[in-house]
Structure 1
């Protein structure tokens, strides 16, 4: 049975998954059966991508400092110590644990940890073919972690919005216009519309959004949580609101649509918060019926 010290190539067992979730977001997975199923499909895919290549020498894992699930958690916890640190400062801290690792090995390990923790497609451009439909993003040596994350969620440059009602669902969009959903594990890619392929990219990890939201709430009373509150609060709430609108709870057409796509996040029900902004609704300007 795989343990937290198992290699990334070893699929984590349920206990290891529970530990990973508790370390990433402080959530007790035992109370949320099935909520992270799609997330761990993504996590497993990312682990397998580390061994893409015609030979072991070409594997990304060969040139990484991190090679176990425990290492990934260690890097995430190091990143979470202070979100104002830049990447060289993070590397300096990590060298206490990986003294013989060069910069590239540490950078690739940091990238993997960010993909696991923040679900952003942080990877070198040379590995862009690993995710050909999802743009890669890179953290350079000059910006802080907080600044890097923030620039991947630019605010809307227009105040225009479109009034939508309860019939504006993914199932109805698909039924009336033929536009389908393509799931993206990158939060920065959420609601990007591919006109050529008539696909709307949707981020499906609703539970991780709720976990990040809870971190923001906890940070109000727990100072050590502040550096873990990295995804902008408005982004989290708007993403959750968009999922609630497009995939409504207890809607028969949505239930059928989601079964076809092997997704269940809509069963968690709606997020009971007031709408903050309609900026994400601007995608409707590009979707023609």
Structure 2
């Protein structure tokens, strides 16, 4: 390992491209790549290193001093299992998996609102396999996830806001009285992990999470791409987010998902049960076409009734005015 590139101070920001490439090579080097590994190196991991820098700075601000000074130290800890460096292990485990791994929940995590993965026993692999096991306890009233079920429509139809997260554990979690859904936005990290021959995260997790992103951000949907462009003006969003493909009709069913099954059921239920609260939401809400036509026909009839009523009132006023003028003219002639 050529350490001169990784000897750069851990808390220096921004992290140079040379250091980023060295970190990727050492943490998930050529030994872990499969036949498509070379292609994966062309994927930009800017959002991952934004998370990397933020996670390191948060540990510094929390007062954790565990002797890590440069990126070489991160790589060293990531490749070893020192039993006396809990905070350092938590940090490296988090950076390896983009999950908030902790021996015990600390103040920084509670303040950040992130959901931690508490690692008290067994291996990190066991922890991840257990947490990201299939969750299929809930039943959906309607298992079809139609074309309207996109992040853009969650926002504009049901009023469920999208909040971006870099914590994979929080993906698709509803918060704030079901008015906000957290979405893991680092698609480039998922694609890199999916291309590796060996990874700590379950292979099924990467594929299924990418499918949920293809569901919420279909690459073939031009309005969604335009919506994401607007989102990027106010937030740092992974450029690969709208490059996850698009699911076919038979793939857009809840039973095709296992790890994120229950969260999708809850999110779909919140979407279906939401009622339009504004004229714009009524206009965009095409979930029930009969209801949509009924509402807008009623609005049209009401508008026409008001219009013709107004016209009749105006005509009546004009007639009264003309009659009044005629009466005055007749009196003047007499």
Q: TM-score, normalised by structure 2?
A: 0.66
- What is the Cα deviation at residue 197 of structure 1? 6.1
Aligned counterpart, 1:32: 42
Q: How far apart are the structure 2 equivalents of 1:245 and 1:73?
A: 35
| Gaps in structure 1 of 5+ consecutive residues | 54-58, 79-89, 93-102, 219-224
Q: How far apart are the structure 1 equivalents of 2:242 and 2:109?
A: 33
Which of 170, 182, 189 lines up with 2:170 in the alignment? 189
Aligned counterpart, 2:10: 8
Q: How does 1:1-289 map to 2 (within 5 A)?
A: 3-11=5-13, 12-26=15-29, 32=42, 35-52=44-61, 59-60=63-64, 62=65, 64-78=66-80, 90-91=81-82, 103=84, 106-123=85-102, 124-129=104-109, 131-140=111-120, 142-158=121-137, 160-161=139-140, 162-196=143-177, 198-215=179-196, 218=197, 225=198, 229-262=199-232, 263=237, 264-270=239-245, 275=251, 276-277=256-257, 279=261, 281-282=264-265, 283-287=267-271, 288-289=273-274
Q: How far apart are the structure 1 equivalents of 2:207 and 2:11?
A: 34
- What is the Cα deviation at residue 152 of structure 1? 2.0
Q: How far apart are the structure 1 equivalents of 2:69 and 2:42?
A: 28
- What is the Cα deviation at residue 272 of structure 1? 8.3
CA deviation map 1:201-256 (0-9, x unaligned): 011111111222222xx2xxxxxx3xxx3212222211110000101114222122
- What is the Cα deviation at residue 269 of structure 1? 3.8
Q: How far apart are the structure 2 equivalents of 1:156 and 1:236?
A: 15
Q: How far apart are the structure 2 equivalents of 1:131 and 1:212?
A: 29
CA deviation map 1:83-127 (0-9, x unaligned): xxxxxxx225xxxxxxxxxx2xx1111111111110011134223
Q: How far apart are the structure 2 equivalents of 1:134 and 1:187?
A: 10
Q: TM-score, normalised by structure 1?
A: 0.75
| Gaps in structure 2 of 5+ consecutive residues | 30-36, 275-334
Q: How many residues align?
A: 245
Query: Could you say what the CA RMSD is over the residues aligned between the two structures, in angstroms?
Result: 2.7
Q: How far apart are the structure 1 equivalents of 2:54 and 2:166?
A: 11
Aligned counterpart, 1:85: none
Aligned counterpart, 2:300: none
- What is the Cα deviation at residue 41 of structure 1? 1.3
Aligned residues of 1:6 and 1:69 also touching (Cα < 8 A) = yes
Aligned residues of 1:18 and 1:30 also touching (Cα < 8 A) = no
Q: How far apart are the structure 2 equivalents of 1:52 and 1:195?
A: 27
Moved segments of 4+, more than 6 Å: 271-274
Residue 201 of structure 1 aligns to a residue in which SS?
Answer: strand
